[in-house]
Amino acid sequence: MMAGSHVALGAAAWMLAAPHFGQDALRPLGLGLAVAGALLPDVDHPKSWAGRRLRPVSTVVAAVFGHRGVTHSLLALVGCWAALRYGTGVPRAWAAPVVVGYLSHLLADLLTPGGLRLAWPLRGTWALPLCRSGSPFEPLVVALVLSVAAWSALPDPPDPRAALQRVGLRLERGAEPLPRPPPAPPPAPPARQNWAAQRAPGRGG
Ligand SMILES: [Zn+2]
C-alpha cells in the first residue's frame, strides 16, 4: 500500500488498540509513534517514504533481504517489540503504539496481491488479495477502517438510531402490525333482475 494509507491505517489501528493498553486513543504521542511504526517495515525499499529517509540502511536491507522480506515478517514484529523493550529500555507505553503500527502495516500489505512472507525465513507467501496498491479501491478501504476506528475512539459516540428517527426511520426489532383492510362491500344485485322487476307492474295495468 501507499505511504499515506499506512499512515492512516497505523493511526486507526492505535485508536482501536489503545484502550486495551490503558491509554487514551487520541493522545498525539501514541498516534505519532503508531504512524512511525506503520512506516517502518518499508525500510527495505530505498524508494519508499521511510527508505528515502534512512537511505544507507534501506539500500543495504534491500540488497541483503529484498523488499517484503524480513522486515515484513512476524519475526520482525517480535524483534521490534524485544528491541524496544529490552534493547533500548523504552517504556511499554511507547513501545506498544510502535508495534501496533508495525502490525497494521503487515495486515495492510497482506490485503495486496503481492502478499507477505510472514513466516520468513521460511518460504511461502500469505495474501488476502482484496486491494491492489495504488488502486482507486485503496482509499475507500482506508477511509472505511479510519471511520470505524474514529467512531470507536469517541468518548461518547452518538446513537445512530436517534439521527435515523429524526428523518422518520426506526430501527426497533418489533415492527408495528399493519392495519386490517376495511370489509368488502356487499355484491350489487344483477342489472337484469332489476329491469324485470320494474317492467312487471306496467304490464298488469
Ligand atoms: Zn510494506
107 φψ region: left (φ > 0), alpha (ψ -120 to 50), beta (else): alpha
Over range 169-187, report the average pLDDT: 69
Ligand 1 center to 108 CA (angstroms): 8
DSSP state of 126: B
What is the overall mean pLDDT for the chain?
A: 85
Ligand 1 center to 120 CA (angstroms): 14
**Per the domain annotation, does 40 fall within a domain?**
yes
Residues 72 and 109 sit within 8 Å (Cβ to Cβ): yes
Ligand 1 center to 113 CA (angstroms): 12
Which residues have their alpha-adjacent CB atom under 5 A from ion ligand 1?
A: 41-42, 109
**Per the domain annotation, does 107 fall within a domain?**
yes
Ligand 1 center to 162 CA (angstroms): 41
Higher model confidence: residue 37 or residue 134?
A: 37
Quick one: pLDDT at residue 131? 86
pLDDT digits (tens, 9 = 90+) for 65-88: 989 989 999 999 999 999 999 988
Residue whose C-alpha is closest to residue 27's, from 16, 35, 36, 15: 15
**Per the domain annotation, does 170 fall within a domain?**
no
Quick one: pLDDT at residue 187? 78
Ligand 1 center to 158 CA (angstroms): 35
Domain that holds residue 74: 3-154
DSSP state of 62: H
Quick one: pLDDT at residue 178? 64
**Per the domain annotation, does 164 fall within a domain?**
no
**Per the domain annotation, does 166 fall within a domain?**
no
pTM more than 0.85: no
Share of the chain above pLDDT 90, in %: 51
Ligand 1 center to 139 CA (angstroms): 16
Quick one: pLDDT at residue 203? 47
Ligand 1 center to 115 CA (angstroms): 10
What the block records as the C-alpha cell of 195 is: 329491469
Cα(194)–Cα(107) distance, integer angstroms: 84
What's the domain count of the chain? 1
Ligand 1 center to 176 CA (angstroms): 52
Could you tell me the pLDDT band of residue 18, with boundaries at 50, 70 and 90?
very high
**Per the domain annotation, does 56 fall within a domain?**
yes
Quick one: pLDDT at residue 134? 85
pLDDT digits (tens, 9 = 90+) for 90-126: 899 999 999 999 999 999 999 999 899 999 999 899 9
Ligand 1 center to 204 CA (angstroms): 108
**Per the domain annotation, does 174 fall within a domain?**
no
**Per the domain annotation, does 96 fall within a domain?**
yes
